[in-house]
Chain A
Amino acid sequence: MAGLAAAAPVAADSRGFRRKPGLAAWLVLAPLLAWLVLFIVVPTIMLVVVSFAERDALGRVVYQFSFDNYVRAFNWVWLKVLWDSIWYAFLTTVICMLVGYPVAFFIGRAPERWRGILLMLVMVPFWTSFLIRTYAWITILSKEGLVNSLLMSSGLISAPITLLYTPFAIVLGLVYNFLPFMILPIYTSVEKLDGAMIEAAYDLGARPMRAFAQVIIPLTSPGITAGALLVFIPSICMFAITTLMGGGANPTIGEVIFKQFTSGRNQPFGAALGTLLLVLFVVALWFTRNSREEE
C-alpha cells in the first residue's frame, strides 16, 4: 500500500507535472523512501538474486547462476501445497467477510460515543501475543478440551469429536486471527456512508435487500476490497497458526518456504518459491486494478 502512495508523486512528475518537488518535499519524503528502499526494495532484490543461486553442503549460498530452483518449483508437490494454501486463504476471506461485515456495519452505525469503545472491544484480544491465543485454541479444541467436555457432559455426543489438527481448525485459526483486518477497513467505509443515500433508495421504492445490494454494498466496496486483501494475502503465507492448529499434516506454502530456509538447508529453493509467490501477488493485484479501471 505504502509503495503505491510513494510512487504517485514520482509518476506525476514524469508526466510533465508543472512543479518539480522542492528540496523540502524530498526531505519530508526521505525517511519514507529510505524505509522503502531498505526494507522492501533491497530484500526483494536479495530474494530474487538468491533464488538463482546454488548452495553448498552446509546450506551456504553459492553465487553461481542456476535455473534449477525454478525447474524444481514447478512440481505438482509444491503446486498442490500452493493450491491448498490459496484455498484456505480464500475460505478465510469469505468467512471473515460474512462475519466481519455485519459487525463493522453495526459499529459504524452505532452512536458516535459508542464507536470507540466497540472498536476497542474488537482489538482487546489482540493485545495478547497471537501464539498464546493459538495455544488457547488448542486447549479449547482438543479431545479432552472445553468444547468436547461440554458436549459430552450435556449428552449431545457420546465420544469426543475431532476438532483440532484438521483443516477446520486451520481455517478457524486464520479467521480468528485476521477478522479485525476485515472489520476495520469496512468500518471506515461504513462510517463515511451517507444516510441520505439510503433514504433516497427507500424513497425511490427500493426494499431493504435492494437498497443493501445496490447502494450500501457499492458505497462500502473500497472497505470490502481493502479488507479482503488484508486478510487474503497474509493468510496465504501464515505458517505458525497452520502448523500449530493443523498439526502439520496439511503443509501450507509459508511452512514449506520456512522449512527450505531451515531444515531443508536450501535457501535458494525457498527464495525461488518466495519469488514465485511474489510474482503471483503482483499479477493478481495488477488484474484487480485493471478490472476496476474498466468499470
Chain B
Amino acid sequence: MKNHITLMAALAALALAGCGKPPAATSSSGPKVESKPAAAAEPKAPGSDKLNVFCWSEYIPQSVIDQFTKETGIKVSVENYASNEEMLAKLMAGGGSYDIIQPSEYVVGALVKEGLLHPLDPAKVPNLKNIAPQFLNLPFDPGNKFSVPFMAGTVGIVVNTDLVKDDIKGFTDVFQDKYKQNIVVLDDAREIVTWGFFTEGVPINQVTDENLAKVKPLVSKWLPLVKVYDSDSPKTALLNGDVAIGVVWGGEGAILLNEDKKFKWVLPSEGTHLFIDSLAIPKASQNVANAEAFMNFILRPDVSKQISDAFPYLNPNLAARELLTAEQRANKASFPPDEDIKKMQMFEDIGQQASKIDEMVTSLKVQ
C-alpha cells in the first residue's frame, strides 16, 4: 500500500513535469510583496494599484519592475511571450486584461488600423522627449498617438573568427557549402524569407506569391546548410562552439561581442531591416493611468540605461545613451552607424501571407 502511494505521488509529479511549453513562454509573476509607496516619482492612479505587463521574454529586467513598484506602489504582474504573433493570439482571445504590451513596428501598425490601442495623452508621457527624432513619428504610428519606442535593433551576422578565416560580408558569404552544418539562424520564417528578398533585390514588404516563388530556390539551397534554428537564444550555439556563424538579433550579437573578442559583427551587405519594439496600451486596459505612468518611467534615462545594461539593443533614448559607457556605445551590434540605419527598411504587416511563409520554410526544412 505504502508503495502504491509513493507510486501515485511519483506519477502525479511526472504528469506535471511531462508536457511543457517552450522555454520563452514561461510566465513570471511580479513582486508579491506589498511595498510602501515611498517618495512616489509618479502620481498613483486613483482607484487601482495594479498593472498587467505583457512583454517579450528577456527584455525588461526584473530590477526595473521592482523599482517601479517601489516608487509608485503599483503592483506589477508580468507575463512573457516569445513572438509578436503569440502576443496577438492571446490579446485577440481576450485572455488576461493586459495594460501594457510590447509590439514590434508592423504589429503596432496593424493594431492601430484595427483600432485596438488606447490613444496616449502626451501630457502623461513627457519623457518621450528623450527619444531620438529618427525613432519618432514613423509610418506605423504617425505622431506617436498610440505607442512609444522601447528598444530598436537589427539583424546581422556574427562570425567566430577563430573558426572562420574568410571575410564574411553578407548572406551569400554565410550560406556557402563549406559552412554546412556550421550555421545558426533565427527560427523565424519571415526573417529567413526576408534575407532571401534582400539577396534577390525584392522589396521586403511585397510578400506576394510570385516573390515567394522567386526566392524559394535560393532559400531551399540555404536551409540544408543550417545546423540550428533558435530565436530565443541563438548566442548559445555560438558560445558553445557548436556553430561558427550566426544570423542573429543585434542584442544577441552585442552580448557575444562583449563575451569574447573572437566574435565579429557584420551588417549584411545585401541589406537588413530595422525593428522597433514599442510600448502600447490595449483598448481593453483597465488601468490606463498606471500604464502611462509605467511608459513614462521606462522612458526615464536612468531606467532606460538599466535596460540597456541587461539587454544591449539599440537604445532610442538619447538621454539614456549619454549614461552608457564609451565601450557600450562603441558596440557595433548594439549601435550600428547612423548612415547604415538610414538605409534599413522596416517590416509592415503581411496578414495572412504569414501562413504561406511558414509553410514554405517548414517544407524546405524537411525537404
Smallest distance from the beta carbon of A130 to chain B beta carbons, Å? 5
CB distance A267 to B22 under 8 Å? Answer: no
Complex Cα distance, B82 from A165, in Å, reads 21
Q: 19 A-B contacts, Cβ less than 8 Å apart?
A: A55-B352, A57-B351, A116-B3, A130-B20, A131-B20, A162-B242, A164-B242, A165-B237, A165-B242, A234-B19, A240-B21, A249-B229, A251-B366, A262-B83, A262-B89, A263-B83, A263-B189, A264-B354, A267-B89
At the interface, yes or no: A119 with Cβ under 8 Å from chain B?
yes
Residue of A nearest to B366 (CB): A80
At the interface, yes or no: A238 with Cβ under 8 Å from chain B?
yes
Binding site for A on B (CB under 8 A): 2-3, 6-7, 10-11, 13-14, 17-23, 26, 82-83, 85-86, 88-89, 92, 110, 114, 181, 187-190, 226-230, 236-237, 240-242, 349, 351-352, 354-355, 358-359, 362-363, 365-366
Residue of A nearest to B9 (CB): A123
CB distance B14 to A126 under 8 Å? Answer: yes
Q: Which residues of A contact B83 (CB under 8 A)?
A: 262-263
- 6 smallest beta-carbon distances between A and B, as pairs: A57-B351, A248-B229, A142-B240, A247-B228, A264-B358, A77-B363
CB distance B349 to A57 under 8 Å? Answer: yes
Complex Cα distance, B127 from A161, in Å, reads 53
Complex Cα distance, B163 from A160, in Å, reads 13
Q: Which residues of B contact A265 (CB under 8 A)?
A: 85, 88-89, 352, 354-355
Apart from A247-B229, A264-B359, 16 more pairs, CB < 8 Å: A59-B92, A75-B363, A119-B7, A120-B6, A120-B10, A123-B10, A126-B14, A139-B240, A142-B242, A162-B242, A249-B226, A249-B228, A251-B365, A256-B362, A262-B85, A264-B189
Of A13-21, A24-32, A180-188, the one contacting chain B is A180-188
Asked if A59 meets B85 with Cβ closer than 8 Å, knowing A81-B362, A119-B3, A264-B358, the reply is yes
Complex Cα distance, B6 from A111, in Å, reads 16
Complex Cα distance, B361 from A199, in Å, reads 60
At the interface, yes or no: A145 with Cβ under 8 Å from chain B?
yes
Q: Which residues of A contact B181 (CB under 8 A)?
A: 162
Smallest distance from the beta carbon of B232 to chain A beta carbons, Å? 9
CB distance B17 to A144 under 8 Å? Answer: no
Complex Cα distance, B355 from A145, in Å, reads 37
CB distance B240 to A144 under 8 Å? Answer: yes
Q: Which residues of B contact A77 (CB under 8 A)?
A: 359, 362-363, 366
Complex Cα distance, B21 from A75, in Å, reads 27
Complex Cα distance, B189 from A259, in Å, reads 10
At the interface, yes or no: A196 with Cβ under 8 Å from chain B?
no
CB distance A263 to B188 under 8 Å? Answer: yes
CB distance B188 to A180 under 8 Å? Answer: no
Q: Which residues of A contact B187 (CB under 8 A)?
A: 243, 248
CB distance A184 to B11 under 8 Å? Answer: yes
CB distance B365 to A249 under 8 Å? Answer: yes
Asked if A143 meets B14 with Cβ closer than 8 Å, knowing A58-B110, A131-B20, A244-B23, the reply is no
Smallest distance from the beta carbon of B236 to chain A beta carbons, Å? 7
Q: Which of A224-264 contact B (CB under 8 A)?
A: 234, 237-240, 243-244, 247-251, 256, 258-264
Residue of B nearest to A258 (CB): B22
The one of B86, B227, B240, B362 that contacts A262, using a Cβ cutoff of 8 Å? B86
Q: Which residues of A contact B352 (CB under 8 A)?
A: 55-57, 265
Residue of A nearest to B226 (CB): A249
Q: Which residues of B contact A248 (CB under 8 A)?
A: 187, 228-230, 365
Q: Which residues of A contact B189 (CB under 8 A)?
A: 263-264
Residue of A nearest to B10 (CB): A123
Interface string of A165-187 (1 = CB under 8 A from B): 10000000000011011001001
Complex Cα distance, B106 from A58, in Å, reads 11
The one of A57, A58, A184, A259 that contacts B10, using a Cβ cutoff of 8 Å? A184
Q: Which residues of B contact A72 (CB under 8 A)?
A: 359
Complex Cα distance, B13 from A72, in Å, reads 38
Interface string of A133-149 (1 = CB under 8 A from B): 00000110011110000
Asked if A138 meets B240 with Cβ closer than 8 Å, knowing A126-B14, A247-B227, A249-B227, the reply is yes
Q: Which residues of B contact A116 (CB under 8 A)?
A: 2-3, 6
CB distance B17 to A130 under 8 Å? Answer: yes
Residue of A nearest to B114 (CB): A58
CB distance A127 to B13 under 8 Å? Answer: yes
Between A116, A238, A249, the greatest number of chain B beta carbons within 10 A of the residue's beta carbon is seen for A249
Complex Cα distance, B354 from A240, in Å, reads 22
Q: Which residues of A contact B17 (CB under 8 A)?
A: 126, 129-130
Complex Cα distance, B85 from A216, in Å, reads 53
Q: Which residues of A contact B240 (CB under 8 A)?
A: 138-139, 142-145, 164
Q: Which residues of A contact B13 (CB under 8 A)?
A: 123, 126-127
CB distance B88 to A59 under 8 Å? Answer: yes
Complex Cα distance, B366 from A84, in Å, reads 9
Smallest distance from the beta carbon of B28 to chain A beta carbons, Å? 13
At the interface, yes or no: A109 with Cβ under 8 Å from chain B?
no
